[in-house]
Amino acid sequence: MGAPRRNRKKYNKPKEMWDLQRINADNALVEEFGLKNRRELWKVQTELSRLRKNVRYLLSGSSQQNTVIQERMIARLAKYGIANKDSTLDNLLDIDEKVFLSRRLQSVVFKKGMARTSKQARQIIVHGYIAVNGKRVTKPGYLVPVDEESTIGYYKPIDLNLGKPKEAEVAVKGKEVSEVRAKSE
C-alpha cells in the first residue's frame, strides 16, 4: 500500500541558487560541521526560517495566547540548548545556523572526543556505534537535548585506534612479561 501520509520535503532550496557568496558560506558550513550534502544545511535553514517567521508573528500581536506560545517556544529551544530560558523573542531572531548545527549528534560526538573528525563521527553514528541514553541512534542529524548530552556513549565497545591501548591487551602483555621473568629466575 504505502505510507499512510504523504511524504514531503523538509527543506526549501535557496532562491538564488548560483549566488557565489552564499555558495561559499554554505561550503564553509558543510566543511566545518561535516555534513553529507547541501540538503542537510537547507533543512536547518528552513527550520530557522520557520522559527523566525513564528517569532515575527508573535511580536506583531499581543494576547494572552501569544504569551503561552512564546513560553512554549522558548522552553523548547532551551531544552535543546539553542536558547536560554530567560531569552526574549528579540533574542530568538539572532539565532543562526551554527547554533542548530552544533546541537546535532554528529557535532556533539566530535566535540566530546569520541571521534577524530566530524566525518568519522558521522560514520560511527550511521554504523550504529553511538547510543544516547542507552538507545542506539543512527541519525547524525538527531538534535541532542541538553539533559541527554552526558548520556552519549558507545553502543558497542570499539577500537578507533586513538592511541590508547585496550585494557585487555595491557593485561595480557603484563602477564606475559611476569611469566617470562619467572621463567628466567
d(C-alpha 98, C-alpha 82), whole Å: 10
d(C-alpha 156, C-alpha 129), whole Å: 6
The H or E element that residue 129 is part of is: none
| pLDDT the model gives residue 164 | 55
Q: Which domains does the chain have, with CATH numbers?
A: 8-102 (no CATH), 104-185 (3.10.290)
pLDDT tens for the chain, 185 residues: list them. Answer: 567 788 889 999 999 999 999 999 999 999 999 999 999 999 999 999 999 999 999 998 878 888 899 999 999 999 999 999 999 999 999 999 999 999 999 999 999 999 999 999 999 999 999 999 989 999 999 999 999 999 999 986 556 666 555 555 544 455 554 554 455 55
d(C-alpha 108, C-alpha 145), whole Å: 11
| pLDDT the model gives residue 5 | 82
Q: Minimal CA–CA distance to 46: which of 149, 146, 141, 118?
A: 141
The three grid cell numbers given for residue 17, joined into one nine-digit string = 541558487
19-55 burial by CB neighbour count: b if 16+ within 10 A, else e?
eeeeeeebeebbeebbbeebebbbbbbeebeebeeeb
pLDDT in tens, 23-37: 999 999 999 999 999
Round the average pLDDT of the chain to a whole number and report it.
87
pTM equals: 0.78
pLDDT in tens, 6-16: 888 999 999 99
